[in-house]
Chains A and B, each alone.
Chain A
């Protein structure tokens, strides 16, 4: 029994049943398939994080964001600047207690280099309803290229607990034709 010492003293010489061995082989092969699937997707798939990231002082990141806002604001909405940067540009989104700053307006099927960072604690960038979720850290500038492929209005929820106003932290991205 499993609660008593093995009845055969030399248990490591017992034969392994065929069925057990087959399952080990199948399960191991499946592990390999899952391993190669991730690598395969880096070549064939369109959804991969580039893992480009830089250390940055929070104030510096806020300045970058502000420069973009100063250059490309097209209107205001509920106190948020709505920024329409040129296609292909570097764009900045700051997570801070408790909003995503500013509102971005992007063009459909264009690519942008999105920079994400926080100026205080960690936040969670959760773009809805597409459901893209990325962790946002203070002091790190995470960069990846996005290509919005459907026009519409998107919400950005904060999905990392960041304080008592966590549930108030909603941002917005517009994708226009």
Chain B
């Protein structure tokens, strides 16, 4: 195998790139973007329907669109892109050949076939069960079958990744330990194996049930195991996008982790404290004890949260250290003010970091508190929270690194640079808007997954407060902004990939610039001379916001009816 592997050398980074790996990165990334476009369109339709003054879709099509939105973006877009990230972090960063490219192709085809099957079945209209498909709601067998095929394909991708790590080690393509970004990707892949196993345990019986071979599936059991997949898959996303934060910091600033040890430990936390059975999705379900809930949400969860809080400091900290070492030393924030805000990869990455922490992170921990969940469960607060994590966090980070992938892996000049510069801001602000306004509506009680907040056709009348309608109007406007940002992204990326100027062999693209040499930075990022007061300030603001918001919600809780 290894003797007929072809490599090229990247003129910008000097990395050795296996052409087979490069091709697989390309196809996975393209598939990802296609499904982001489809799923994002469904998201816009959903948001426009939930805007009371617009109320676009009829009820049946709304529930169909919501099911398709959840599947296409959360599952298909993100996981296809993660496959590209895995191949990049293994073969490319280690300068190795990709192990078993044929298997990787087989995995890709399975994923594609699965995604297409599930989409067709959903569009046929008899499987509008939401992506969670809680039993006893029943979808057509093809719905589950497609997801299972997709998951098997992803599992193959994970094993190709592990095999590549082994190959690289055996063939000594690198010295010492694997890079931090590869390490982060490895934690993602390990969690993915656990995730997919849980998915198989629950979805295969459910498929059989849908076919009529199994009589009954317990709804609580289903939900517990389903979320063992559903929650841990979010931990994959976090591990993947945090790795991308580090990668972009390195590729833009030549930034070094403040300390390898701390950053790697923080990744390890994600595996060690992967929340057991995903208890925070089960806080108001019958049949669990409070001991079980508290143990599993806090012991297990707060240590994973600790991991994220550590990354939240070390990533900006490493950027600050790199900038300061280059003389941007004035005051607290010169390093940040003079950061390349016109570079879409950096702008997207930094907004991803801030929004993930402030919006997605804080709300997630608050909502995952045993008792506070009572005032939030299944309200729009929940989608508000996860658009902060998985859209403003993961999706924005994936978009950001794409701006580097197009010139470096697709070998095309980036087109529409002006549009690209604006894109992260338009998308980021739009998504921050939908997150915050859905959280606001949820705090006022508005239900998620709901076609008509006016209850026009219900037998018994009920009115949400008028502030809730305002929130949903603002949510609709933010959704339009986010959709515009999404379209800008697709235009830039698809335009460049298919019509951008092809780079000559060994030609350096005009964007991105060559990363400054890491030698400019001290031996390790945290060498004594490097103080990071700006990051310390940012972290302090974050912490204060977190503590205040946490206790405000206990206050809200204390105002509802006493119950025990």
Q: Do A and B come from one complex?
A: yes
Which A residues have a C-beta under 8 Å from some C-beta of B? Answer: 1-9, 11-12, 14-17, 19-20, 23-24, 26-28, 30-32, 34-35, 37-39, 41-42, 45-51, 53, 77-80, 99, 103, 120-122, 124, 126, 128-135, 137-142, 144-149, 155, 157-164, 166-172
- Indicate if the CB atoms of B379 and A2 lie closer than 8 Å: no
Q: Is B136 an interface residue (CB 8 A)?
A: yes
Residues of B within 8 A of A147 (CB): 561-563
B459 x A132 contact (CB < 8 A): no
One of B33-41, B481-489, B502-510, B550-558 at the interface: B550-558
Q: A38-B294, A140-B286, A166-B449 are in contact. Are A133 and B563 (CB under 8 A)?
A: no
7 interchain pairs (CB within 8 A)? A2-B257, A11-B177, A35-B294, A38-B294, A51-B289, A126-B447, A172-B462
Give A111 Cβ to nearest chain B Cβ, in Å: 8
Closest A-chain residue to B265, C-beta based? A24
Q: Is B56 an interface residue (CB 8 A)?
A: no
With A3-B181, A46-B558, A47-B562 as known contacts, state yes or no: A35 contacts B374, CB within 8 Å: no
Does B327 sit at the interface, judged by CB under 8 A? no
Q: Which secondary structure dominates chain B's binding surface?
A: loop
Are B256 and A160 interface neighbours, CB within 8 A? no
B174, CB-defined interface residue at 8 Å: yes
Question: B461: shortest Cβ distance to chain A, in Å?
Answer: 7
Contact with A along B256-284 (1 / 0, CB 8 A): 11111111000000000000000000001
Closest approach, in angstroms, between the C-beta of A49 and any C-beta of chain B? 6
Q: Is B124 an interface residue (CB 8 A)?
A: no
Chain A binder among B154-162, B412-420, B428-436, B518-526: B518-526
Chain B residues bordering chain A, tally (CB within 8 A) = 107
Q: Find A7's partner among B310, B377, B523 (CB 8 Å cutoff).
A: B523
Nearest first, the 8 closest Cβ-Cβ pairs linking A and B are A155-B462, A53-B286, A31-B302, A17-B526, A159-B447, A142-B286, A2-B246, A46-B562
In the complex, how many angstroms separate the beta carbon of B90 from the nearest chain A beta carbon? 12
- Cβ contacts B524-544/A at 8 Å (1 or 0 each): 101000011000100100010
Most buried by A among B246, B290, B459: B459
Give the residues from 452 to 507 in chain B that come closer than 8 angstroms, CB to CB, to chain A.
Answer: 452, 455, 457-465
In whole Å, how far is A69's beta carbon from the nearest beta carbon of chain B?
A: 16
Docked-complex contact B543 and A141, CB < 8 angstroms:
no
The yes or no answer to B63 lying at the interface (CB within 8 A) is yes
Given contacts A11-B261, A133-B378, contact A164 B59 (CB under 8 A): yes
Q: Is the pair A134, B374 in contact by a Cβ cutoff of 8 Å?
A: yes
On whether the beta carbons of B174 and A23 are closer than 8 Å, the reply is no
User: What's the Cα separation between A142 and B563 when bound, in Å?
Assistant: 13
Check A139 against B218 for contact (C-beta < 8 Å): yes
Residues of A within 8 A of B379 (CB): 126, 131, 133, 159
Q: Which residues of B contact A171 (CB under 8 A)?
A: 460
For A23, A138, A140, which residue has the most chain B Cβ atoms within 10 angstroms? A23
* In-complex Cβ contact of B455 among A26, A32, A159, A170 (8 A): A170
Say yes or no: is B369 at the interface (Cβ < 8 Å to chain A).
Answer: yes
Given contacts A20-B258, A31-B303, A161-B129, 14 further A-B contacts (CB under 8 A): A2-B318, A3-B179, A3-B247, A24-B306, A27-B309, A30-B546, A46-B564, A47-B560, A122-B137, A130-B561, A133-B377, A133-B378, A140-B287, A155-B463
Most buried by B among A4, A79, A103, A171: A4
Contact of B563 among A47, A128, A168 (CB under 8 A): A47
Contact status A99-B309, CB under 8 Å: no
- Closest residue of A by beta carbon distance from B251: A3
Q: Is B130 engaged at the interface, CB distance under 8 Å to the other chain?
A: yes
Bound CA span A43–B255, Å: 48
Query: What chain B residues lie within 8 Å of A28 (beta carbons)?
Result: 306
**In contact, A47 and B261 (Cβ under 8 angstroms):** no
Provide the bound-state CA to CA distance between A103 and B310, in Å: 50
CB distance from A161 to the nearest CB of B (A): 4
Q: How far is the CB of B256 from chain A (nearest CB, A)?
A: 6
Residues of A near B93 (CB, < 8 A) are: 3-4
Question: Please, how many angstroms separate the alpha-carbon atoms of A27 and B547 in the complex?
Answer: 11
Closest Cβ of chain A to B411, distance in Å, is 19
Q: Which residues of A contact B286 (CB under 8 A)?
A: 51, 53, 135, 137, 140-142
Does any Cβ of A come within 8 Å of B371's Cβ?
yes
Among A37, A79, A131, the one with the most B-chain Cβ atoms within 10 Å of its Cβ is A131
Structural contact, B378 and A145, CB atoms closer than 8 A:
no
Q: Are B250 and A1 in touch, CB under 8 angstroms?
A: yes
Point out the residues of chain B lying under 8 angstroms from A130, CB to CB.
560-561
B165 proximal to A (CB < 8 A): no
* A interface footprint on B438-450 (CB within 8 Å = 1, 0 otherwise): 0000011101111
Contact of B459 among A5, A20, A27, A168 (CB under 8 A): A168
Q: Which residues of A contact B178 (CB under 8 A)?
A: 5
Given contacts A39-B294, A159-B378, A161-B449, contact A15 B459 (CB under 8 A): no
A154 to B313 Cα, complex, angstroms: 45
Q: Which residues of A contact B174 (CB under 8 A)?
A: 5
A30 and B560 contacting across the interface, CB-CB below 8 Å:
no
Q: How far is the CB of A15 from chain B (nearest CB, A)?
A: 7
Q: Flag if A2 contacts B547 (CB, 8 Å).
A: no
Q: In whole Å, how far is A163's beta carbon from the nearest beta carbon of chain B? A: 7
B230 shortest CB reach to chain A, Å: 15
Residues of A within 8 A of B298 (CB): 31, 34-35, 38
Contacts of A164 in B (CB 8 A): 59-60, 63, 128
With contacts A4-B179, A20-B314, A45-B371 taken as known, whether A167 is within 8 angstroms of B377 at the C-beta atoms is no
A8 touching B524 by the CB < 8 A rule? yes
CA gap between A124 and B302 in the complex, in Å: 27
Question: In the complex, what's the smallest C-beta–C-beta distance from B222 to chain A, in angstroms?
Answer: 10
Establish whether residues B59 and A137, one from each chain, have CB atoms under 8 Å apart when the complex forms: no
Select which of A12, A134, A135 is within 8 A of B261 by beta carbon.
A12
Distance, CA A8 to CA B525, complexed state (A): 11
Give CA–CA (A87, B452) in the complex, Å: 35
Check A7–B287 contact: CB distance below 8 A.
no
From the candidates B287, B299, B461, name the one contacting A35 in the complex (CB within 8 A): B299
- If A2-B255, A17-B258, A17-B259 touch, whether A35 touches B176 (CB-CB below 8 Å) is no
